[in-house]
Structure 1
Amino acid sequence: MDQPRRMKVLQAIVEDYVASREPVGSKALVERHNLGVSSATVRNDMAELEDEGLIAAPHTSSGRIPTDKGYRYFVDRISEVRPLSIAEKRAVQRLLDNSDGIDDMMAATVQVLSQLTRQVAVIQYPHMDSSVIRRVEFVLLSEDRMLAVLILSTGRVDQRVVYLNEVVDQPTLDVLAQVFMKYLDNVSPYNLSQALADVHAAIPQEHQSLVRALGNAVQLLAEAGHRDRILLAGTANLARSPQDFSHSIGPILEALEEQVVLLKLLTEMENDVHGLSVRIGDENFGSLGDTSVVAAGYGPGDAAKIGVVGPTRMDYPSTMSAVRAIARYLSRILSS
């Protein structure tokens, strides 16, 4: 059989089923797509596609729908990923450029990705493996309380209230912050121990108790950044098409909420030649085996992931385009 033509038939079935959620017949394919052959020829092609497990009949005498294997065959043969439209690019740029801090940027990113794809958007916070400390600040809140602030090169900002056992003023805290920065500037959060020891050695004895409290706060802030964090948006999109899932969407929502399975999946996904990773159906873990996940790496070393989770009946070309474009734009923002 003509291999390119068979691919066109499969592509047409995927496109029609994604658009209509209805099984696709040979007559409809001939009417809607310029295949250049008769319905009988298309039926023969569909029979071969079914024999290979790429399409299936959900009901007797019905049209055909793609299988997980069929989606995989289709995705693997997408020759290029189209760029976002000018309007889409402007919307993404406007939203992300107006974000204030890393948390605001992460929230804005998943919101815009969810809106573009109409799927559940997920983002893993930037890994700190290659980040360094950019700034440490100590802000007096009251006589016995102050705020410790840690700012990283990724744009991440963490803060923690510290309760003081002694009276201190803001000028003293400013001087101590300068000493901290002398030894902590450009230090990885993973390598704080020696830098904090150097801070202690440089501080007069009368401030050692205060410096211990400040150092502990900085250490806790750095450790908080080590933990993998995931942010989601658009979970309601799953509930809009429950018929796309063979079972209840409850376990899928639970997996997304618990994040452990999703985090493991994202960590193991590796980019293809398009800079993307696509997992379809039973290629995924546990309760996510009824979904497809499209993800791309971003940030330093592409270590963190951004992507979407949705039904296998997904507009893969558009989804892949949106995920890759936003990942690249986010990487540019973080690198600058």
Structure 2
Amino acid sequence: MSEERRLAVLRAIVEDYVHTREPVGSRVLTERHGLGVSPATIRNDMAALEEAGYIAQPHTSAGRVPTDKGYRLFVDRLAEVRPLTAPQRRAIETFLSEAVDLDDILGRAGRLIAQLTGQVAVVQYPSLRLSGLRHLELVPVGGVRLLVVVITDTGRVEQRYLDVTGAADAEPTVASVESPAPDVAADHPGIPDEGSLGELRARLNAAAAGKRLSELPEAFGRVVAGVAPDLVPLARGIADLVVDTLGTQSEERIVLAGTANLARADMRFEHALSPVLEALEEQVVLLGLLTEMATDPPGGAGVGVRIGHENRLDGLTEASVVASGYGTDGDTVAILGSIGPTRMDYPGTIASVRAVARYLSRVLPN
């Protein structure tokens, strides 16, 4: 069938162009690929592909290069994603399992993707908005101040101070982490004794067990309603602070690795490199792009691919982005991916991103 043959011709053009970085001609296709047809037939197929917008002639030579539309068809019709070798899989698992904390895990994941693909890696920190509360710690600091330590189920740790500035029936107010502790007597009535504080901590932790952010206000509300009247203001202040901390959007951040790869000769972009670098600096917009692409289960078989002008960042119109979600218990809590020129090894990049997402999901704190 001519359609299948033309797809085979397009696949051969993409593979050769990715490998050689040179426009591909019909004679080269005949010599390198067993397409089973004459050079004249291949030329006719190339003409049809060019007319349909899948390939283009960049210069006056007979060679053709894939267009964004051609890469898209190639990716959409991939018969299989090239699996990683057994040594590669073992290296990934070993490297990630040796991480000591969340920062180390994400840094290692970024370096792995950059090394496997030879491109730029981007790894989003687990979103606090999508995280659950694993443990809450309350540490008295001074007479009317509590250090509230929030540990999420993805291993992220946030610390906030809570000041109880009035008497026992006053509403607590949140102080910034950097604020100096007030010099107040330790027996100030705003802070309960160690036993009462421990009981409050235990109740809040029990109520939050297995809950996501959207479920916490109701769960904490039951705790506030059940404590002694003199603890209600403090319990409500702690509950509000935890929900606000997990719900904040200002803490979203990403890890970039492998940006030096952009300077390599085989990473050559058709035009200037500076727009790509500028786009990578727009981390908020970049996070939005990755989030839009994360429609599959964490580490699942499907990996999102945006090619060239499909990216809504102007600086990435000559780049492709391959991304996948990762998370715990089947929930996506963040995104990771790889960014390179549209002339990238799509099967290899997809396999690498998917593998790291799967392993990262497995080694995240449970």
Q: With the length of structure 2 as denominator, give the TM-score of the two structures.
A: 0.78
Alpha-carbon separation, structure 1, partners of 2:236 and 2:295: 44
Separation in structure 1 between the aligned mates of residue 249 and residue 195 of structure 2, nearest angstrom? 24
Aligned residues: 334
**CA deviation profile, 1:12-56 (whole Å, cap 9, x unmatched):** 111111111111122222222222233333222222221221111
Which one has a larger percent helix, Structure 1 or Structure 2?
Answer: 1
Q: Describe the SS at the equivalent of 2:60.
A: coil
Q: 1:77-156 to 2 correspondence within 5 Å?
A: 77-138=77-138, 148-156=148-156
Residues 275 and 297, structure 1, Cα contact 8 Å, conserved in 2: no
> Could you say which residue in structure 1 is the equivalent of 2:288?
264
Cα 1:297–1:57 shift into 2, 3 Å: same
| Distance in 1, Cα, partners of 2:112 & 2:273 | 23
Counterpart-to-counterpart distance in 1, 2:269 and 2:58: 13
State yes or no: 1:181 paired with 2:205: no
Cα distance in 1, alignment partners of residues 105 and 145 from structure 2: 29
- For 1:225 and 1:167, how far apart are their aligned partners in 2? 36
Where does structure 2 lack aligned partners over 5 or more consecutive residues? 161-176, 188-192
Distance in 1, matches of 2:93 and 2:186, equals 44
Q: 1:306 aligns with which of 331, 336, 340?
A: 336
1:247 corresponds to which residue? Answer: 271
Deviation at 1:156, TM superposition (A): 1.7
* Native 8 Å contact 2:128 2:248 kept in 1: no
Q: Deviations over 1:44-76 (max 9, x none)?
A: 222222122111111102411111111111111
- CA distance in 2 between counterparts of 1:140 and 1:62 reads 76
Report if aligned partners of 1:180, 1:199 keep a CA contact under 8 Å in 2.
Answer: no
In the other structure, the counterpart of 1:288 is: 316
With the length of structure 1 as denominator, give the TM-score of the two structures.
0.84
Stretches of structure 1 lacking an aligned partner (at least 5 in a row): none
* Cα distance in 1 between the residues matched to 2:2 and 2:86: 37
Q: Is the Cα–Cα contact under 8 Å of residues 137 and 148 in structure 2 kept in the other structure?
A: yes
1:27 aligned counterpart, secondary structure: helix
Equivalent position of 1:317 in the other structure: 347
Q: Which residue is equivalent to 2:262? A: 238
Q: Which whole-Å CA distance do the structure 2 matches of 1:80 and 1:242 have between them?
A: 25
Q: 1:181 to 1:246 in 2, by over 3 A?
A: farther
Alpha-carbon distance in 1 for matches of 2:264, 2:224: 56
8 Å CA contact 1:101–1:157 kept in 2: the answer is: no
Cα shift readout 1:244-266 (whole Å, capped 9, x = no counterpart):
43332222212211213222222
Q: Deviations over 1:157-191 (max 9, x none)?
A: 2234574433559xx66973552232244254455
Question: Aligned equivalents of 1:136 and 1:168: distance in 2?
Answer: 22
Counterpart amino acid of 1:93? Answer: E
Contact kept in structure 1, 2:123 and 2:336, CA below 8 Å: yes
- Choose from 325, 331, 355 the match for 1:297: 325
Alpha-carbon RMSD across the aligned residues, in angstroms, is 3.4
* Partner residue, 2:168: none
Sequence identity (%):
50
| CA–CA distance in structure 1, aligned partners of residues 250 and 284 of structure 2 | 16
Instruction: Assess, with a 3 A threshold, how the Cα gap between structure 1 residues 90 and 43 changes in structure 2: closer, same or farther.
Output: same
Of stretches 302-311 and 54-63 in structure 1, the one that deviates more from structure 2 is 302-311
- Matched with 1:4 is 4
Conserved 8 A contact 1:119-1:309: yes
Q: 1:271 to 1:33 in 2, by over 3 A?
A: farther
- Secondary structure of the 2:337 match is strand
The answer to whether the 8 A contact 2:217-2:239 is kept is no
Separation in structure 1 between the aligned mates of residue 321 and residue 91 of structure 2, nearest angstrom: 24
Moved more, 318-327 or 259-268: 259-268
Alpha carbons 1:146, 1:164 under 8 Å: kept: no
